[in-house]
Structure 1
Amino acid sequence: MSNLSCTSKMADTTTPIELPVIDISNPHDPAVGKAMLDAAAKYGFLYVNSKGSDFTVEDVDHGFGLSKKFFASPALEKETCRIEPNNRGWSGMHVETLDPDHQRTGDFKEAMNFGDFKDGKAQQPLPPSLVPHEGEINEFAKLCNKTCNRILTLLALGLEIPEDFFTTRHDPVSGPTGSILRYLFYPSIFSPKTAAYKHDKDVRAGAHSDYGSITLLFQRPGQPGLEIRTPEGTWAPVPIVPGPDAGAYPFPPILVNIGDLLSYWTDGLLKSTVHRVVFPLAEQQSPNPQDRYTLVYFCHPVDTTELIPVPSEVVARHREGHGGIVGKVGFGGGAGSLVPGDKPLTAHEHLMSRLGATYGFSKDE
């Protein structure tokens, strides 16, 4: 693990970071692919313009409505689908610890994970509150996957490799994937659920990089908290809506970040940036702080995919620029380059190692 401190000291927080907003309505435009590659290499984070996305306002509002309905349901109902080592199900307050080396206690959040659907059916137990909405959850996950395919196609264009290099390796028709649709609930600082919170010690979600290829994050206005670690070593808040004109978007732009696997694949060219979720100072000073709800889609390759560097001249030039040696990728792993004779790591092996550290699952589990 990294030696980054994950405490929420406000002195360590800089001004909000400015990230590009990219229109992905045409996923076959090389110029857009280049812009996306540049953003992914510089920041590891970017926005997708919600106006050119596959989602309607109703899709996103309904997704948040189902999330709130689930988290408001009785604990006994949530217990019927407690999280399993396959990363599917409900995790309660403090169950997940994203930065175990530095956190005093587990994350101040609850989560509900949905894995791959098959023929429109969930391959896991669903809680009573969500059973009637199985088809709607599946449809939202399909829209997320469609958006990820657009992004992966554009990144392939930017890397000057075949357009379908990544998408074919993320096709669930080829086998199971680690992709997860996740509902997240972070109670406000004055909620009874956060009574144990200690200022300057605890965070809503510990410092981490994401495990998969790319992540889609849907947020609600007025519910901030996400910060990313800058190259200078400070924490920078990420605005929910970039720029001064919130009215330019039907709903807040989708925040996209690069995960560890794309860093592996590109020998660290694409940044798997460390990030966390905090109780912002503004919320701590507000008389009416809001709970924070987010919808997240973690896009993972087919389990058997080998994590070897992509056949890209862009990646080769990056590698040469670093003397052929690429350092640690993201928060939890090494680079994609292999020592001669080493067996390539698979997507499933990487995911299981990260989940084991996060939840304390054993290797056998």
Structure 2
Amino acid sequence: MMAQIAKIPIIDIASDTEQDQLKVAKKLVEAAVEHGFIYIRNSGKDIPIEAVEGTFDLSKKLFAAPVAEKQACTIQPNNRGWSAMQYETLDPKNQRVGDYKEAFNFGEFIDGKAQQPIPPTISEHEGQISAFRDLCHGVCLKINTLLGIGLEVNPPSFFASAHLRENGPSGTTLRFLYYPPLSDLLPAADGDGNTPNEDDVRAGAHSDYGSITMLFRLKGQAGLEILTRQNTWAPVPVCPPGTESDPAPPILVNIGDLLSYWTNGLLRSTVHRVVFPRRGERVAVDGETSTEPRYSIAFFCHPVGTTPLLPVPSERVRNFRRSEDGGEKNNPYAERKVMTADEHLQMRLRASYLTLYKDEKA
């Protein structure tokens, strides 16, 4: 049996003229409204392919570091640091156990230096990580600008301006992720409930927290699925049809809860998950596998923390009706009140890190 792959538009955001930019902006908005996910072709112009490959090499090096090194950098309430296997639970209502993954979150860098402890194994490369983070942030500003143009926001720089680092700190996070192969987890059967069964997942069903997410994946590593409007799970190939000969896999971009809330639910924050291989099920695209180790890099872009999530000055956003267009369903975490970007982020983190916040008062 083979699942039908997700129908996600592939867009090249490069544009040479103002007219081209407007066309790209309109395509981007329609994809964000209908799907919440967009493939962005990666030609290496905005983010050099060598930079992506080099960052993946550092990610593998970090996760192979001694456990003691990583434990010394355990994640803190500021959402920075290492989270061990099963520490995070992205779908606490439905998961039997926490996610079968490790992660390391990098926050702000100043002059190429991390403002948090990082394992000695990669400390000499922190400038390289900082540079990659800067590249990602630049592309996110470009995408936010295009969304402003496509939504006819006045001024078009409305979203991008809220993400400028010179205006203050934010919850923006660069995240390395490692999902061990199923074969490494099965021998752990020791009666403690940590061995995955057929209903367990590598990362629970969730929507992202911020404005937009950029996801980098390696060829051949399957596992990501999105929940479609028909309420079915659809695999998201690393290289969708039409991109097989591209110099690098496209960057997967998706809308987060904050931007969905900010646009009154018009832009769709789509639920997604990472799964183990299922018995008797074939992968959706030849050459991909979900049985090997899986690495990914996510860049979660957030506005400056003090940004009030006021109504977006866009006629289309203003006229959007939640009840008619399903906005409330698309963004279940939205509330009809103004909050800041930081308040919105904290609301989501407390739901995911049950252990980290268990001793704090709500």
| TM-score of the alignment, normalized to the shorter chain, above 0.5 | yes
For 2:6, give the aligned amino acid. Answer: I
Within 5 Å, which residues of 2 pair with 1:1-365?
14-26=3-15, 29-51=21-43, 53-161=45-153, 162-192=155-185, 195=188, 196-247=194-245, 249-281=246-278, 289-319=291-321, 322=323, 326-331=327-332, 333-335=333-335, 337-338=336-337, 344-360=338-354, 361-362=357-358, 363=360
In structure 1, C-alpha distance between the alignment counterparts of 2:325 and 2:249, rounded to whole Å: 40
For 1:257, give the aligned amino acid. Answer: N
Which moved further from structure 2: 263-272 or 286-295?
A: 286-295
Shift of residue 309, structure 1, vs aligned partner? 2.2
Which moved further from structure 2: 57-66 or 284-293?
A: 284-293
Unaligned runs of 5+ in 1: 1-9, 339-343
Which moved further from structure 2: 179-188 or 47-56?
A: 47-56
Structural RMSD (CA): 2.4
SS of aligned partner of 2:57: helix
**Given the superposition, is the C-alpha separation of residues 254 and 53 from structure 1 closer, same or farther in structure 2, using an over 3 Å criterion?**
farther
**Given the superposition, is the C-alpha separation of residues 288 and 206 from structure 1 closer, same or farther in structure 2, using an over 3 Å criterion?**
closer
In structure 1, C-alpha distance between the alignment counterparts of 2:186 and 2:150, rounded to whole Å: 45
**Given the superposition, is the C-alpha separation of residues 284 and 183 from structure 1 closer, same or farther in structure 2, using an over 3 Å criterion?**
farther
Shift of residue 222, structure 1, vs aligned partner? 1.0
In structure 2, C-alpha distance between the alignment counterparts of 1:261 and 1:270, rounded to whole Å: 10
SS of aligned partner of 1:103: coil
SS of aligned partner of 1:87: coil
Shift of residue 306, structure 1, vs aligned partner? 1.1
Shift of residue 193, structure 1, vs aligned partner? 7.4
In structure 1, C-alpha distance between the alignment counterparts of 2:71 and 2:186, rounded to whole Å: 17
Q: Deviations over 1:3-53 (max 9, x none)?
A: xxxxxxx9xx84111211111123961111000000000000011100165
Q: Is the 8 A contact 1:187 1:194 kept in 2?
A: no
In structure 1, C-alpha distance between the alignment counterparts of 2:293 and 2:280, rounded to whole Å: 10
For 1:176, give the aligned amino acid. Answer: P
With the length of structure 1 as denominator, give the TM-score of the two structures.
Answer: 0.89
SS of aligned partner of 2:86: coil
Q: Deviations over 1:57-112 (max 9, x none)?
A: 21111000000000001101111100000000000000000011110000000000
**Given the superposition, is the C-alpha separation of residues 54 and 288 from structure 1 closer, same or farther in structure 2, using an over 3 Å criterion?**
closer
In structure 2, C-alpha distance between the alignment counterparts of 1:297 and 1:348, rounded to whole Å: 17
Shift of residue 269, structure 1, vs aligned partner? 0.5
Q: Deviations over 1:273-330 (max 9, x none)?
A: 00000013389889993100001100001111111220101112323x8469952553
Shift of residue 201, structure 1, vs aligned partner? 1.8
Match of 1:3?
none
For 2:5, give the aligned amino acid. Answer: P
SS of aligned partner of 2:204: strand
Q: Is the 8 A contact 2:49 2:248 kept in 1?
A: yes
Identity fraction in percent: 50
